[in-house]
Amino acid sequence: MSQVTLNASTSREQGSRNSRRLRQSGAIPAVVYGHGVASLPIAVDAKSFRTAVSGEQGLNSLIELNADGKKFLVMAREIQRHPVRGTVAHIDFQVIDPNQAVLAEVPLHVIGDAVEVRHADWEVDQQMFSLEISTRPDQIPTHIDVDISDLKVGGAIRVSDVLLPSGVVPAGDPTASVVTTRPGRVAKTAGTAEAAV
């Protein structure tokens, strides 16, 4: 997994007025916490942060944060956005140990063709679009494929059915549905007609 470097300033003054001034100057107020580090207020350049998380790992990117000479290996955790503009208003950076498992949210990509479901005029209904996993930072996949080729009418694919890369385990409910099936319009109409007979 590639690692990006992001420079940060530790001299930011706290308070909403100073935070507004920072954002107007193109910076984002942030905080670094975790792994034996006292909570440290910082500021990062908004454009540099966007670049740091614009790779295929997105917000799961490993970032080497250079805060006025102090270096931290971090991941961007909680990101607060402006309610109207959608711009990043604040970031929580968590210091991580590269050898310890972390939690990460990874996109789910549905692949394959559920032929049996399609031929019965049923539909595939994706219930979950990302999956929370636990793994070492360098093993976080960019996405996880969910193959629906063997899906049957009335069937479902649960979290426990999803093939995960080695060293990756689901962090949530293993019985939660990722993909289900439901009658399509034609199948529903036929069912209603049969019920009326």
Question: How far apart, in whole angstroms, are the C-alpha atoms of residue 158 and residue 127?
Answer: 10
Contact 46, 26 (CB under 8 A): yes
Superfamily of domain 103-196: Ribosomal protein L25, C-terminal domain (2.170.120.20)
- What are the residue boundaries of the structural domains of the chain, listed by start? 3-96, 103-196
Per-residue pLDDT tens digits for 156-187: 999 999 999 999 999 989 999 999 999 987 65
Query: In the numeric block, which tokens belong to residue 96?
Result: 């991580």
Segment 53-59 long-range contacts (CB within 8 Å, at least 24 positions apart): 55/2, 55/4, 56/142, 57/1, 57/2, 57/140, 57/142, 58/142, 59/105
Q: What's residue 10's pLDDT?
A: 84
Question: How far apart, in whole angstroms, are the C-alpha atoms of residue 45 and residue 67?
Answer: 12
Mean pLDDT of the region 25-37? 86
Per-residue pLDDT tens digits for 47-98: 999 898 888 888 899 999 998 888 999 999 888 888 887 788 889 999 999 8
Least trusted range by pLDDT, from 86-95, 121-130, 134-143: 86-95
Q: How many residues does the chain have?
A: 197
pTM metric for this prediction: 0.78
Alpha helices in the chain (DSSP H): 16-24, 46-52, 115-119, 185-196
Superfamily of domain 3-96: Ribosomal Protein L25; Chain P (2.40.240.10)
Query: In the numeric block, which tokens belong to residue 1?
Result: 């997994």
Average pLDDT over the chain reads 87
Question: Judging by beta carbons within 10 Å of its beta carbon (0-12, 13-18, 19+), is residue 119 exposed, middle or buried?
Answer: exposed
